Structure 1
Amino acid sequence: MKGALLVAGTHSDAGKSVVTAGICRWLHRQGVRVAPFKAQNMALNSVVTAGGAEVGRAQAMQAAAAGAELEAAMNPILIKPSGERHSQVIVMGEPYTDADARSYRTLKDELRPIVASALADLRSRYDVVVCEGAGSPAEINLRASDLTNMWLAREAQLPTLIVADIDRGGVFASLFGTLALLEPDDQAHVAGFVINKFRGDQRILAPGLDQLQQLSGRPTLGVLPFVQDLWLDVEDSLALDAGGAAPESAPQPGGDTLDVAVVRLRHISNFTDADALRGEPGVRVRFTRSAADIERADLVILPGTKATVEDLELLRNAGLDTALVARAALGKPILGICGGYQILGEHIHDEVESRRGSVPGLGLLPVTTNFAAQKLRRLRSGSSPWLNCTAGGYEIRHGQPRLNGGTNLPALLIADDGEPDGAVSDAVLGTSWHGVLEHDAFRRALLAWVAARSGRRFIPGTQPFADVRAKRLDVLGELIEQHLDTAALSRLIDQGLGTQLPTITTEKRQLAALPDHG
């Protein structure tokens, strides 16, 4: 098998990432060398490759599904919102520029060759590349500047599937309307549809599928069932409202449940740091903006943020700073990660991200953070002498926390190169390492410490988090194998579009095509 495919959707969060990852996993299990690709990703969840490039977390998950090593070419453009109407643009894993929505559109002409080159490079090295679109291809106000949906389909001659979420209702109108709004040359690349999150008897759905094919000239290649607690690394915090985080599990016999509250910051980033906690028996994780939740939880996590100073200000406006300070005074555990760690410190000097200058932090750790123009991006491995265990993670940050002079606090982590990271002050912990909770020894040692502080009994699980994630990816592959027409899918990838597909026309479009219809 040799070829490529584009998975588009009727809207954001329709299931593009799930279907893309599922196809990658299905092909990988068939022995096919496959890679994921997303031309442009807007997300605050990102990771670092082995080469030090920053890419979207969803592409890291898809690369894992494909059994491929993550690289910058899989997500050549990453847009990270860093405040109101302002974003950092990362190109091939490196910071490129800062832009707002209007100025970013002017960059598209210089970015298109980079996207095309990255995809061509992957296709030269892999048997199959499964591309994921962004948003909807029918965002007609953005079509002229598109580089991740139908422009990509035309440029790379990709057969395209359109995915719709039936759980939201209006699935037939969404699919047909998306197709009908596309220009004829764009429609020519749409080969079929996939319906996601179906509940009930598919025989009731069948007449609609038949009529959709009659109207559009395109088949529905499959109907994916709704799967309770289907979890995978997601792109943005919208998924938190849809239950996109990992499901929790019951405690081990004789164990207690630990309650973990993750503060839901406005510009929360890498909230998937907390996913591994739910892989442990008896750990309940909630994302919250409630002072009461902060007060009563066994562990509070202040996560990463792409707008550290702005989120600190919002914490104060909501009174959550008072709740965190009161919690620390009672000796109840708090863990700050990256931006959350910086917020827990005494001072933040920022002329880079917020450009607000010097701002007081919460004062729970004797740390001062200075923002540097150069972003630090690297994988880390080492240990936690404080918890007496191994650890690892990755860093993506402009902020550079430093312990204030005269302070003799233990570091939370020590890298293999001897560089200390983070700080521990009574029950308040901080680290710049994302992903550290995915390391089984560190996570379980931390939870045991939290349980001891809370007077609870924690009995850790025995299954490595990597195995939990692999099983979840296998579920995605099985969804594709069992519920999509994989023979038709294989033909699309291997042979392309084949016969010419009909164009959906409307009176308005026909009139608009006339030189004078006034």
Structure 2
Amino acid sequence: MVNGALLVAGTTSDAGKSVVTAGICRWLARRGVRVAPFKAQNMSLNSYVTAQGAEIGRAQAMQAQAAGIEPAADMNPILLKPGSDRRSQVVLMGTPVADVDAMEYGALKDLLRTTALEALGRLRKQYDVVVCEGAGSPAEINLRPGDIANMGLARAAGLPVIVVGDIDRGGVFAAFYGTVALLDADDQAHISGFVVNKFRGARELLEPGLDMIEQLTGREVYGVLPWLDGLWLDVEDSLALDGRRVPTRAPHGRQTLRVAVVRLPRISNFTDLDALAAEPGVVVRFVTDPVEFDDADLVVLPGSRATVRDLAWLRQSGLAGAIAEREGPLLGICGGFQMLGREIVDAVESGEGRVEGLGRLPVRVEFGQDKRLARPEGTAYGQPVRAYEIHHGRASVEGGEPFLDGCRVGNVWGTTWHGALENDGFRRAFLADVAERAGRDFVPAPGTDFARLREERLDALGDLVERHLDTDALLRLIQHGPPHVPTLPR
């Protein structure tokens, strides 16, 4: 199998493209195939720093792990990080290059298209198979002229496309048919078939619909993936926050530990909390109402792509007052840490200049043009910690006890390090301290291994693909490209 490739598209955002891509990567890797993930253009506030210091989408880092390889900038050459409804930071090959609105972004299209195709070309020379993930839906026809992530990529690189639909949302057959029918004939030629995702119920009740969609479109349904709880690691869209994060195992002690995470409008790297949610007896919920702090043992102020704007939102929502008055444990990560300081000076991200912080930590933050992208290491609670940093704000700590690169004052901790809670020894020690300070009879489970848990979930994705998809048909697509398929009327 040489230089094969496949594009996984979706009927909507959060249809399951990322997990299906990861599952195919894990399935192929277990067969001994040298496989790599690729997403030409990703819009996400969940990102990761590679060993080479490049910033890419967190989902692509997870997919690289599924493939058994190190993440690299080529796997996500274009990353868009929205800072408002109209402007986004453009990260090109792992480095921020511009902050643009929609019209300014259009002027970069030729450069971005060339960069994406060159990155894909390098991966195809290095690996046997590249599994590409689309963005949003290929049926976003208003965006088709400048598309470089869906059918624009498929056409340019000759890729077969499978379309994933989320049946749990309803309307999956209409979404499949409509996705194909909205495309022009040349685009339709690359749509090879469909995958039904998140199915719960009796398969025999679904079969007539599967037969009919195949007859109506002339395209195969490659399989039906059942609903499987717990596959929320490293998602890229905040839509996935709804209704997730519940404990899967009983607490090790007599009580649970309740964590309230502030759901900021521009929340970033909320994957930092995945390790807490995986801990037995820890209940993590995302909140927007100060009332929900009342029974929380720990409040987390997470990262933000727009620190000053989200700080203003905290004040408008009443959450700022609740945070300022909180006596119990409080943790700020990256943007959240910056908000907890005394002062923020920002002429870069928001242009607001000097802004008063929440005053919970003796810290002054000043934003610089250069973004810090790093993979730091340190210790806390006597435990080793490996993490990563992604921020423009530089924090000057003027007091308190050292805590990673930040500080701690009483029940308030702050750090710019993402991923610190994935370190098992540190996480257990931190949670034990939080539980004692909150007066909870909670004991962290000594055997929780987050890295192993992530591997188990990636294996579960590989199992889903192997057991529920027509893998022989997928191999034919990867090896031979799009099959001959009919054109539907537009």
Shorter-chain TM-score bucket reads over 0.9
1:397 aligns with 2:391: yes
CA offset at residue 114 of structure 1? 0.4
Question: Where do 1:389-468 residues align within 5 Å?
Answer: 389-404=383-398, 407=399, 409-413=400-404, 421-461=405-445, 462-468=447-453
Contact 2:364 2:395 (8 Å CA) reproduced: yes
Say which SS state the counterpart of residue 336 (structure 1) adopts: strand
2:19 aligns with 18
Indicate yes or no: 2:211 matched with 1:181. Answer: no
1:440-482 CA distances to partner (integer Å, 9 max, x unpaired)?
1111110010011122233222131000111111111111001
CA contact (8 A) 2:59 2:236 kept: yes
SS at structure 2 position matched to 1:362: coil
Shift of 1:494: 1.4
Distance 1:242 1:143, change over 3 A: farther
Q: Do the aligned residues in 2 keep the contact of 1:229 with 1:247 (CA within 8 Å)?
A: no
Task: Give the alignment partner of residue 342 of structure 2, picking from 339, 346, 350.
Answer: 346
CA contact under 8 A between 1:345 and 1:365: conserved in structure 2? yes
- Equivalent residue pairs, number: 488
For 1:115 and 1:257, the matched residues in 2 are separated by 46
Q: Which residue pairs with 2:465 in the alignment? A: 480
Report the AA paired with residue 221 of structure 1: Y
| AA at the equivalent of 1:501 | V
Cα deviation digits, residues 88-133 of structure 1 (max 9, x gap): 0000000111111222122111111100000000010111100000
Asked if the contact 1:302/1:336 (under 8 Å) is kept, the reply is yes
1:425 and 1:121 map into 2 onto residues whose CA distance is 49
Any idea what SS the aligned residue of 2:375 has? Answer: strand
The separation in 2 between residues aligned to 1:323 and 1:248, in whole angstroms, is: 30
In structure 2, which of residues 453, 457, 476 is the aligned counterpart of residue 491 of structure 1?
476
Offset from partner CA, 1:168-200 (integer Å, 9 cap, x none): 111111101110111101111111111111111
Q: Is 1:375 aligned to residue 375 of structure 2?
A: no
Q: Hey, which bits of structure 1, 4+ residues long, moved more than 4 A?
A: 245-248
1:35-89 Cα shifts (integer Å, max 9, x gaps): 1000000000001000000000111111111111100000000000112311100
Kindly tell me: are residues 379 and 335 of structure 1, through their superposed partners in 2, closer, same or farther at Cα, counting changes over 3 Å?
same
Tell me how far apart the structure 2 counterparts of residues 389 and 214 of structure 1 sit (CA, whole Å): 59
CA contact (8 A) 1:249 1:278 kept: no
Could you tell me how far apart the structure 2 residues matched to 1:102 and 1:138 are?
A: 21
Matched, 1:209 2:203: no
Q: Is 1:144 the equivalent of 2:128?
A: no
Residue 240 of structure 1 is matched in structure 2 by 241
Given the alignment of the two structures, is residue 357 of structure 1 paired with residue 356 of structure 2, yes or no? no
Contact 2:233 2:274 in 1 (8 A): no
Provide the residue aligned with 2:302 in structure 1. 303
Distance of aligned partners of 1:56 and 1:246 in 2 relative to their CA distance in 1, 3 Å threshold = farther
Tell whether the 8 Å contact from 1:166 to 1:196 is kept in structure 2 after alignment. Answer: yes
370-379 or 99-108: which moved more? 99-108
Number of the residue aligned with 2:171: 170
Match among 469, 476, 497 for residue 454 of structure 2: 469
Q: In 2, Cα distance between the equivalents of 1:337 and 1:141?
A: 37
Larger CA deviation: 210-219 vs 36-45: 210-219
Structure 1 CA distance for aligned equivalents of residues 275 and 229 of structure 2: 18
The answer as to whether partners of 2:23 and 2:66 remain within 8 angstroms in 1 is yes
Superposed, which structure 2 residues align to 1:77-92 within 5 Å?
77-92=78-93
Q: Secondary structure at the match of 2:402?
A: coil
Corresponding residue of 1:418: none
State how far apart, in whole Å, the 2-side matches of 1:80 and 1:250 are: 37
Distance 1:147 1:366 in 2: 45
* Pairing 1:96-115 to 2, within 5 Å after superposition: 96-115=97-116
**Letter matched to residue 259 of structure 1:** R
Structure 1 position 369, deviation (Å): 0.1
Please report how far the alpha carbon of residue 308 of structure 1 lies from its aligned counterpart in structure 2 after TM superposition: 0.4
Q: Paired residue for 1:417?
A: none
**Cα deviation, residue 228, structure 1:** 2.6
Tell me the secondary structure at the aligned position of residue 411 of structure 1: strand
Name the counterpart of 1:511. Answer: none
Residues 184 and 233 (structure 1), Cα distance of their counterparts in 2 relative to 1, 3 Å cut? same
SS at match of 2:208: helix
Counterpart amino acid of residue 436 in structure 1: A
**Percent of aligned positions that are identical:** 60
Partner residue, 1:514: none
Letter in 2 for 1:496: G
Alignment partner, residue 512 of structure 1: none
| Equivalent position of 1:48 in the other structure | 49
The corresponding residue for 1:257 is 256
Show CA shifts across 1:143-171 (max 9, x none).
10000001110111101101111111111
8 Å contact 2:247–2:281 — kept in the other structure?
no
> For residues 55 and 388 of structure 2, what CA distance do their matches in structure 1 show?
10
CA positional deviation for 1:247: 4.8
Verify: 1:333 aligned to 2:329, yes or no: yes
The CA distance in 2 between the partners of 1:49 and 1:295, in whole Å, is: 39
Q: What is the SS of the residue equivalent to 1:296?
A: coil
What is the CA distance between 1:430 and its match in structure 2? 0.3
Task: Give the match's secondary structure for 2:388.
Answer: strand
Q: Is the 8 A contact 1:248 1:285 kept in 2?
A: no
Provide structure 1 residue ranges, at least 5 long, that are not aligned to the other structure: 414-420, 507-518
What is the distance in 1 between the residues matched to 2:86 and 2:32? 44
